[in-house]
Amino acid sequence: MTHADTGDFPDDQALILAACLAHESARDDRILNDPQAARLAGGRGQDLFTATAGPEQAFIAALHVAATDELVQWTILDRRVHTTVTLGAGLDARPYRLGLPSDLRWVELDDDALVTYKQLRLAHVQPTCRVERVALDLSDGLQRHDVLHRLVSDVTRGLLVTEHTTGALPPMALSELTADLPAGLKWWILDTPSSDPGPVNDLPADQWQIANRLDVRAEALRLAPKRLEQLESDAAPQRGPAGLGAVWLLRRTTVRGRPRS
């Protein structure tokens, strides 16, 4: 019996997101297909989805994930990334559903209970690349620093992904994270709830520069224009149609004041 089945699983939001992707994957007009999402959501995730989310939220969540998918794959393949680190990986199953190089090293960092749950749920599924999972208290800056530097000490072309994590960190933690990132992490993907740069503008401009940006609404217009039209026609007037957010790809320009080699 798992944490999710007993109701003790510590991250309801992770379960809801997995259930959103399971709901989207079951549609004939889906914009992405995650075969592991229903397994990861479990019964509790499906119950939470029914009680607190719905098709609209599933579509929006899937749009963010699909946009991030695009930047992740492009960066890994075009920039010849050999190590990807997902900080706050949640129940993301990209190593099992994306076409990734078999020699890619994919490192997932998250809460111990979540890591254990995910290991059990995916124990009999073969990933497309090499996957490592490490338990980490994301709020512990010292532990985060030590783990990151231990895991990527020999990395030269690494990618950091903080999907759903950056906005959850307090400003001080984000500042600490930026200062502590190992030099080998040359690329960084994060998302924002609005199309404005938001926390991206708070990063040191002499260390990180915007290399690419995918507007989530523009992705919806490309992937599912009819569903976007319906979403916007159903949107509450106070929310408006334009608040779908963006996904950003940042390129490291300096390391602690030194130009990037």
- Domain span at residue 204 reads 59-259
Query: 194 with 245: CB under 8 angstroms?
Result: yes
Q: Two tokens at 52?
A: 């607190």
Q: Give the model's pLDDT for residue 259.
A: 44
Q: Phi and psi at residue 101, in whole multiples of 5°?
A: -60, 140
Neighbour-count burial of 216, counting CB atoms closer than 10 A to its CB (0-12 exposed, 13-18 middle, 19+ buried): buried
Q: Phi and psi at residue 72, in whole multiples of 5°?
A: -60, -50
Domain contains 183: yes
Nearest-CA neighbor of 161 among 258, 72, 101, 52?
Answer: 72
3-state secondary structure of 246: strand
Query: 109 with 9: CB under 8 angstroms?
Result: no
Domain contains 41: no
Identity (one letter) of the amino acid at 44? R
Domain contains 10: no
Q: Give the model's pLDDT for residue 140.
A: 87
Q: Give the model's pLDDT for residue 6.
A: 38
Contacts 24+ apart (CB under 8 A), 192-199: 192/166, 192/167, 192/245, 192/246, 192/247, 192/248, 193/167, 193/243, 193/245, 194/243, 194/245, 194/246, 195/242, 195/243, 195/244, 195/245, 195/246, 197/248, 198/167, 199/166, 199/167, 199/171, 199/174
Q: What is the CATH number of the domain that holds 197?
A: 3.40.50.150
Domain contains 90: yes
Query: 31 with 223: CB under 8 angstroms?
Result: yes
Number of compact structural domains in the chain: 1
Domain contains 18: no
Q: Two tokens at 224?
A: 């599912």
Contacts of 189 (CB under 8 A, 6+ apart): 68, 71, 72, 75, 159, 160, 161, 162, 163, 247, 248, 249, 250
For residue 217, CA distances in Å to 52, 60, 98, 207 come to 23, 9, 22, 28
Cα separation, 130 vs 214, in Å, equals 27
Domain contains 29: no
Q: Phi and psi at residue 102, in whole multiples of 5°?
A: -65, -25
Return the exposure string of 187-209: e unless at least 16 CB atoms fall within 10 Å of the residue's CB, then b.
bbbbbbeebeebbbeebeeebbe
Query: 88 with 109: CB under 8 angstroms?
Result: yes
Domain contains 33: no
Q: Give the model's pLDDT for residue 33.
A: 97
Domain contains 140: yes
| Predicted confidence pLDDT, tens digits, the chain (261 residues) | 344 443 456 589 999 999 999 999 999 999 999 999 999 999 999 999 999 999 999 999 999 999 999 999 999 999 999 999 999 999 999 999 999 999 999 999 999 999 999 999 999 999 999 999 999 998 888 999 999 999 999 999 999 999 977 666 666 667 778 877 999 999 999 998 888 887 788 788 888 999 999 999 999 999 999 999 999 998 755 454 457 999 999 999 976 545 444
End-to-end CA distance of the chain: 50
Q: Two tokens at 244?
A: 């779908």
